[in-house]
Chain A
Amino acid sequence: MKNKTTPQSTNNRLLLGIDLGTSRSVVCASNGQQAFVDSYVGWPKDFVARKKLGKDVLFGEEALRHRLSVDLCRPLERGVIKEGSKDQEAVKALIQHLISLVNPADNQEVFAAVGVPAESFKRDKIAISRCLNGVTDALMVVSEPFAVAWGKDLLDNALIIDIGAGTTDFCIMHGTVPGEDDQRTLEVAGDFLDNKLFEALTRAYPKSSITLNMARQFKETLSFVGAAPSPVLVDIPVNGKAEQHDITEQMREACEHIVPGLVETTAELISRYDPEFQDAVRRNIVLAGGGSQIRGLAARIEKEIGAYGPCKVKVVDDAIYTGARGCLALAKDMPETDWEDPAVSGNA
Chain B
Amino acid sequence: MFWGKKTRPTAREAILKGVREDNVRLRQPGFTHRMSTRRPRRERWLTLAAAILVAGASLHHLLKVAEGNAPAPQAVAQPAPSPAAVAKIAKATPDMVTDAAPVTPLKIGEAGDNVKDLMGLSTRTIMIDAGHGGRDPGAVSKGGLREKDITLDVAARLKRILEQQRGYQILMSRHDDHFVPLHDRAKLANEKNVDLFISIHVNYMPGNAINAVETYYFGNYQDAATRELAKLENRESGYSISEFEKLGRDMQDRIKLQESMALAKSIQGSLLKNIRAQNERVLDTGVRPAPFIVLYAVKSPSILAEIGSLSSPEAEARLRREDYREQIAGYLAAGITNYLNNQSPSLMESKGGHHHEKQNHTAVHQ
Contact = CB atoms under 8 A, between A and B. Distances in A.
Contacts of A341: 20, 24
B222 A334 contact: no
Given A177-B19, A271-B208, A307-B281, A348 B11 contact: no
A91 B212 CA distance: 41
Interface string B196-218: 00000000010111101010000
A260 B219 CA distance: 15
Interface size of A as a range: 35 or more
A336 B282 CA distance: 50
28 contacts: A122-B37, A126-B26, A126-B33, A129-B23, A140-B19, A175-B15, A176-B11, A177-B19, A188-B223, A203-B108, A203-B109, A205-B110, A206-B109, A257-B222, A259-B286, A260-B222, A260-B284, A260-B288, A261-B222, A263-B285, A264-B225, A265-B223, A304-B283, A304-B284, A333-B16, A338-B2, A338-B16, A343-B24
A142 B19 contact: yes
Nearest to A338: B20
A307 B283 contact: yes
Interface string A247-267: 001000100110111011101
Contacts of B109: 203-206
A80 B18 CA distance: 23
Contact of A335 (B16, B24, B207, B222): B16
Contacts of A187: 222-224
A141 B288 CA distance: 35
A125 B26 contact: yes
A141 to B, nearest CB: 6
Nearest to A330: B19
A207 B37 CA distance: 51
A122 B283 CA distance: 29
Interface in B11-40: 11-12, 14-20, 22-24, 26-28, 31-33, 36-37
Interface in A300-348: 304, 307-308, 330, 333-335, 337-338, 341, 343-344, 348
A312 B49 CA distance: 41
Interface residues of B, number: 48
A123 interface: yes
B27 to A, nearest CB: 5
A192 interface: yes
Contacts of B51: none
Given A125-B26, A126-B26, A192-B222, A344 B20 contact: yes
B285 A343 contact: no
A140 B106 contact: no
Interface in A202-248: 203-207
A186 interface: yes
A267 B223 contact: no
A205 B17 CA distance: 55
A271 B284 contact: no
A64 interface: no
B28 A156 contact: no
